[in-house]
Amino acid sequence: MKRDYAKEILAGSPQAVARLISWLEDEDERAYSIMEELYPHTGRAYVIGITGSPGAGKSTLTDKLIRIMRKGGLTVGVVAVDPSSPFTGGALLGDRIRMSDHSTDPEVYIRSMATRGFLGGMAKATCDVVKVLDAFGKDIIIIETVGVGQDEVDIVGLADTTCVVLVPGLGDVIQSMKAGVMEIADVYVVNKADRDGADQLNMEVNARIEQDIHIKMSGWVPPVNKTIAVDNVGMQDLWESILKHRAFLEESGRLVEKRRKQTYQETLRMIHNELFRLIRDQLSEDGRLDRLVEEILERKRDPYSTMREILSEWLDSTPKYKEAL
Amino acid sequence: MAKKIKIIVAKPGLDGHDRGAKLLARIFAEEGMEVVYTGLRQTPEMIVAAAEQEDADVVGLSSLSGVHNYFFPRVVELLKDKGLNDVLVVGGGIIPVEDYDFLQKSGVKAIFGPGTPTMEIVNFIKSNARAR
């Protein structure tokens, strides 16, 4: 008998969740009909993003946040992303190490994901995995991004509250003035606050916030929380900052607005991905793509007119692809 | 997107010697696998919960301190209890050859002792991991 994964997930089966997530990562066709069934059951969970440079303490912070949430009776899903090797495609996923305390708690579901070449700080399927954990009934979903540099900011398109984790000693004041990751925080965390330079960093971040015109207009001033996650210091205050931001989003109507924007982006992205996949698969099937590449390399043709040619062909033959959907 | 082998590398018990486990974790990653390293001092319950949540195809156990005859079969047993019968369990470390037979009978599919060429381990995993 065919297994009804959607039903199993809604009934609370971690194994059905685990398998569906693998299929989503593999872009396995079996995943999509299940996702269609789960979608009406999503939208309940609150999504928290934790981002910051490698070694900033994201996993440890996540571990300590889970502890507070569980004490408050909340159930938690965690998506922890680590990078895939650009050379071998393999990955070493080490985020669970810090979260060992929760590994046998049935109300905490932790899933490691490799980026598989996807940029922006997350894996391609991360947004789908969040929906699965949402439908699975988790109250809070934490997304821990890969260790990011300056420009991996996709997390804002997925999290309701984004926490940017900073640590002392990574650069001068100019670093904190730059665009990118430094701009996306709803809540700042200065972790490892017992280290030299923590007060300086704290001051710089506060100065940035004061000078930021965009923040002034938004109605929300991101709090800066000092923590020493490994010793469980400052964690309760951090959690309260997150709750305050949530209350702000809900009371001001921004949450609805934020999710409208996310859904807009996501719908476009899904159409884009699927169109791309269809055309890529068709072009690769009979080696035509390789031949085109050779011709382009030899300057017998150019990529611009090739793109137009392929699109126009594809548009002419679309009824053929309708069946594949 | 090609399917990748997902493997949990774990150190059960109180044994703190993880050099071998870490080295193998790196080698598996270099061979294109997605490796979840759980860290030290794992109970069988923790290892099996990780395998379940991660949808792991393989669980690799490492032991030095002589606790393999309890921990390895216990992991196999807990996996079976959860219905995860198709997860490949392999082990390695300092394990007397006399124990191999017992461990294999209790469901550990292969034991790799010191000096095993790493590619032998990789190849065994690649040819015995399940499809999903």
What percent of chain A is modeled with pLDDT above 90?
A: 68
Q: Is B52 on the interface with A (CB under 8 A)?
A: yes
With beta carbons under 8 A apart, name residues in chain A contacting B37.
92-94, 96-97
How far does A174 lie from chain B, in Å, by closest CA? 36
Task: Quote the mean pLDDT of chain A.
Answer: 91
Instruction: Determine whether the interchain pair B4/A90 forms a contact, defined as Cβ–Cβ distance below 8 Å.
Output: yes
Q: Which of A238-242, A268-272, A310-314, B65-69 has the highest mean pLDDT?
A: A238-242
Q: Domain map of chain A by residue range?
A: 1-41, 43-252, 262-322
- Domain assignment present for B110: yes
Model confidence pLDDT, tens digit, residues A277-286: 888 888 888 8
Model confidence pLDDT, tens digit, residues A3-22: 999 999 999 999 999 999 99
Total number of domains in chain B? 1
Q: Is B16 on the interface with A (CB under 8 A)?
A: no
pLDDT at A172 over 80: no
Per-residue pLDDT, B131: 85
Per-residue pLDDT, A154: 85
Q: What's the pTM value of the predicted model, to 2 decimals?
A: 0.91
Q: What is the 3-state secondary structure (H, E, C) of chain A?
A: CCCCHHHHHHCCCHHHHHHHHHHHHCCCCHHHHHHHHHHHHCCCCEEEEEEECCCCCHHHHHHHHHHHHHHCCCCEEEEEEECECCCCCCEEECHHHHHHHHCCCCCEEEEEEECCCCCCCCCCCHHHHHHHHHHCCCCEEEEEEEECCCCCCHHHHCCCEEEEEECCCCCCHHHHHCCHHHHCCCEEEECCCCCCCHHHHHHHHHHHHHHCHHHHHHCCCCCEEECEHHHCECHHHHHHHHHHHHHHHHHHCHHHHHHHHHHHHHHHHHHHHHHHHHHHHHHHHCCHHHHHHHHHHCCCCCHHHHHHHHHHHHHHCHHHHHCCC
Per-residue pLDDT, B16: 82
pLDDT at A292 over 70: yes
The average pLDDT across B49-76 equals 95
- Domain assignment present for B1: no
- Domain assignment present for B81: yes
Stronger pLDDT, B81 or A208, i.e. the higher one = B81
Per-residue pLDDT, A190: 95
Which of A92, A102, A116, A276 is the mutation pick for testing B, counting most B CBs within 10 A?
A: A92
What is the domain extent for residue B35? 6-125
Per-residue pLDDT, A180: 74
- Domain assignment present for B39: yes
| Residue A123 pLDDT level (bands cut at 50, 70, 90) | confident
| Residue A305 pLDDT level (bands cut at 50, 70, 90) | very high
Q: From the list A28, A109, A114, which residue is nearest B34 (CB)?
A: A114
Q: Which CATH class, in words, describes the domain spanning A43-252?
A: alpha beta
- Domain assignment present for B131: no
The average pLDDT across A57-64 equals 96
Per-residue pLDDT, A217: 83
pLDDT at A324 over 90: no
Per-residue pLDDT, A316: 86
The average pLDDT across B50-64 equals 96
Q: Is B5 on the interface with A (CB under 8 A)?
A: no
Per-residue pLDDT, A320: 66
CATH number at residue B27: 3.40.50.280
The average pLDDT across A81-103 equals 92
Per-residue pLDDT, B34: 97
